[in-house]
Amino acid sequence: MTATFIKSSPSLEQCPAHSLPEYAFIGRSNVGKSSLINMLTNNAKLSKVSSKPGKTKLINHFLVDEAWYLVDLPGYGFAKQSKSERERFAKMISYYVRKREQLTLLFVLLDIRLEPQQIDLEFIQMLGENGVPFALVFTKADKISATEQRANTDRYRRTLLQTWEELPEIFITSSEKRAGGEEILKYITSTNDQLPATN
């Protein structure tokens, strides 16, 4: 696989023009979006990772195999940002996910250690209301046992089934242990294969 950084954009309007499918990664700040993109592309330096939340501040486009894009987004819900900065990020993210025509699927990342968080449930709700296709990715699986992983993901499924009739695709990953990436890549490949041909 070849993955190339194309552009960092401060707003939807400035995102690159193209007609290839895009797969974007969103979730709370520090959940592991940039780390996951680096694992998927097998390039530890592609997207900047930091132990401090709020690292990714722009919409970052990476072209994969000249055929599709990975998009790294800034996180939402970072408490230590100023209110105006938080609102600016929220707007940037919400515009991108609702209006970006090339967006084929949004991966919503969730820290596997946590019980369902209001902010994530509200974000998922917003996706549903706007008809944005998404899948869930649990991150940092290396931080808890297999039994706890099962318990926490089951709890999440039960919570979602209170409002959703059907569950989305769900992935369990660890960027630290390089686990779960193949399944995501396979899912992207099969989604691309089902898209109508463009040209």
Least distance (Å) between residue 47 CB and Mg ion: 6
Considering beta carbons, is residue 160 or 174 the nearer one to Mg ion?
174
**Residues 145 and 113: beta-carbon distance below 8 Å:** no
Q: How far apart are CA 139 and CA 142, in angstroms?
A: 8
| Contact window for Mg ion (CB under 5 A) among 54-62, 104-112, 133-141, 182-190 | 54-62
Least distance (Å) between residue 66 CB and ligand GTP: 25
Q: Is 139 helix (H, G, I), strand (E, B) or coil?
A: strand
Out of 27, 32, 34, 60, the residue judged to bind Mg ion by CB under 5 A: 34
Considering beta carbons, is residue 30 or 152 the nearer one to ligand GTP?
30
**Total Cβ atoms within 10 A of residue 166:** 6
User: Quick one: residue 128, left, alpha or beta (phi over 0 = left, psi -120 to 50 = alpha)?
Assistant: alpha
Residue 33's nearest CA partner among 122, 134, 140, 119 is 140
Q: What residues between 143 and 172 interact with Mg ion by CB under 5 A?
A: none
Least distance (Å) between residue 157 CB and ligand GTP: 21
Q: Is the alpha carbon torsion for 90, 50, 12, 103 positive or negative?
A: negative
User: Which of the listed partners (Mg ion, ligand GTP, none) does 175 bind, with a CB threshold of 5 to 8 Å by partner kind?
Assistant: ligand GTP
Out of 30, 38, 56, 149, the residue judged to bind Mg ion by CB under 5 A: 56
What are the residues binding ligand GTP (CB under 6 A)? 29-35, 49-51, 53-56, 74-75, 139-140, 142-143, 174-176
